[in-house]
Amino acid sequence: MARIIDGKVVAAELRNRVAGEVARVKSQHDLTPGLAVLLVGNDPASEVYVRSKHAQTQAAGMASFEHKLPTDVTQAELLALILKLNRDPAVHGILVQLPLPGPLNAEAVIHAIDPAKDVDGLHPSNAGRLAGGFAALTPCTPLGCILLTKSVHSSLEGMSAIVIGRSNLVGRPLVQLLLNQNVTVTIAHSRSRDLPQLIRRVDLVYAAVGRPELVRGDWIKPGATVIDVGINRTAAEGGKTRLVGDVAFHEALDIAGAITPVPGGVGQMTVACLLANTLRAACAIAGLPNPAV
């Protein structure tokens, strides 16, 4: 029976470390890290997520700046607000909640954010630095995947891994983070041949493809660590829906050495890593050493 990796516990530990470091930089350097979150429109799921970010930012002792914009906001208005936040010394992190509605160009919006305040790690400058092995602000979900893996394995050096999914938000940056940990990485996607055989060879499995229960239990190497990034809604009895990951959890539970549940796994880490990124950005902008998070 696999060990279930409790994302709530790991995320809480990270938030506590962040809060401790925030209190320290406030006391020693009179610096209060500030996070600005921009939400366009009224998507219910995004609104819930933004409320969670706001609450957790304040709980960590940081300043939280919420900007709720109407669905019909123009590209020029959105870019003007980002420019204003780029220049605001009280703001150290800027996050635009994606996806954006209507005709808004997400790529142009991401490019407009000051890379030093890009706590989502999506600006080409940060993506390029990460790909080159240099220090950079990193997308929060892949960073959370690494921290969850390290809750099982103190060192990943020399291990083998497969990342299923090649999105700019998860798959590609996760590959770079694993390489930085001296892991041998295979990246798979919708056109990969013989996916089960690829998965059976590796010590670490990261499923981030967005297909419900794609990875079956008998595809997994006995004792492997499985990090399930997928969050999919599927039909259940009585017309209700249930949340499942990209891995057939109950099948994998009997074979894997450790596995994240859905929900309660990777999703818990995203906001905690966002707080850590905001703290790192604030220290870097102020010319302070990296915080101990």
**Residue 110 sits in the same domain as residue 147:** no
User: Lowest-pLDDT range, 44-53, 63-72, 96-105, 134-143?
Assistant: 44-53
Count of structural domains within the chain? 2
Distance CA 91, CA 77 (A): 19
Q: Is residue 290 part of a domain?
A: no
120 is catalytic: yes
Mean pLDDT (whole number) for 126-145: 95
Q: Is residue 12 part of a domain?
A: no
State the pLDDT at residue 235: 74
75 is catalytic: no
Mean pLDDT (whole number) for 96-117: 94
**Residue 57 sits in the same domain as residue 148:** no
Q: What is the CATH number of the domain that holds 92?
A: 3.40.50.10860
**Residue 146 sits in the same domain as residue 109:** no
Distance CA 10, CA 12 (A): 5
State the pLDDT at residue 7: 97
**What's the mean per-residue pLDDT of the chain?**
95
pLDDT of 81 strictly over 90: yes
**Residue 209 sits in the same domain as residue 247:** yes
Query: How far is CA 280 from each of CA 167, 207, 283, rounded to the nearest angstrom?
Result: 24, 28, 5
**Residue 144 sits in the same domain as residue 94:** no
**Residue 169 sits in the same domain as residue 249:** yes
23 or 46, greater pLDDT: 23
Count of Cβ atoms closer than 10 Å to residue 1 Cβ: 8
101 or 93, greater pLDDT: 93
State the pLDDT at residue 179: 97
Q: Is residue 68 part of a domain?
A: yes
**Residue 264 sits in the same domain as residue 150:** yes
One of 114, 118, 120, 246 is an active-site residue; which one?
120
State the pLDDT at residue 45: 78
Query: What is the extent of the structural domain holding 231?
Result: 140-268
Of 81, 116, 151, the last residue of a domain is 116
Here the tokens at position 274 are: 């966002």
Q: Is residue 77 part of a domain?
A: yes
**Residue 153 sits in the same domain as residue 190:** yes
8 A C-beta contact, residue 164 and residue 185? no
- For 202-211, letters b (16+ CB in 10 Å) and e give bbbbbbbbee
State the pLDDT at residue 192: 93
Q: What is the CATH number of the domain that holds 230?
A: 3.40.50.720
Q: In what order do the strands lie in the sheet with 184-188?
A: 3-4, 258-259, 225-228, 204-207, 160-164, 184-188
Q: How many CA atoms lie within 13 A of 86 on its CB side?
A: 15
Mean pLDDT (whole number) for 209-230: 96
What interhelical angle do 267-285 and 7-29 show, nearest 10?
Answer: 20
Mean pLDDT (whole number) for 241-261: 95
